[in-house]
Amino acid sequence: MLDTAIESGSIREIEDTYIEDLNLLEDWFLQYEYLLELSRELPRIPAEERTDDLRVKGCQSAMWIKLSYEKGRVYITGDSEALIIRGILAVIISLLNGRTPEEILSYEPRFIKETNIAKEISTDRFDGLHSVVRDIQLYAGRQINGCEKPQGAGNPNSE
C-alpha cells in the first residue's frame, strides 16, 4: 500500500490513487482507519534523532522531517506523535521522496483538499501539513540554487 522508497509513476498519478482510495471510503471512520494503516507503515525516526532542527514549526502536534540530497534527488523521512498526521505525512513522503528538486517544486498539493480530510482535522494541523510541503519545496529549491545543506540536515525553518 505505502512505499516510502521511490514510487513509480508521476506524483499526480500516485496522488490520484490516494485521493480515489480515500474517496471510495465514504465514512470518515474508514478513512481514518486507512490513514492509521499508512501511519503504521511509515518508518519511525528514532527518538534521539528527533531534534529541534528537524521539528516542523507551526504544527499542533510534534512533527519532524529529515531531508537529504543525493545524486540529484531529495530524500525524505518523517515522523509525528499524532497517528493521523503520521498517516498524512506518509502520503506526502510517498509522493515526494526520491524526486528531483524540479518535480518537488512543481507539486501542488491536492490530497487534503480533494478528500474529506480538510473537514476532519483542525486548522492548525492543516496548516502544519502545508508547512511540511513548503519546507520540502524550500529545501528542493536550495538544491537547484547550489545552497545544499549537509546530508541529513533537516527542517528548512531552522536556518
Cα separation of 16 and 82, whole Å?
24
Bridge partner residues of 78 (DSSP): 65
Q: Residue 147 catalytic? A: no
Residues for the chain: how many in total? Answer: 159
The active-site residue, picked from 42, 54, 59, 84, is 59
Q: Which residue has the cell 510534534?
A: 62
Q: Which residues contact 104 (CB under 8 A, 6 or more apart)?
A: 74, 96, 136, 137, 140
Q: Which residue has the cell 506518509?
A: 90
CA 90 to chain centre: 6
Which spans in the chain are helix H?
Answer: 11-24, 28-41, 83-96, 101-106, 117-120, 123-144
Q: Which residue has the cell 524526486?
A: 99
Annotated active-site positions, please? 59
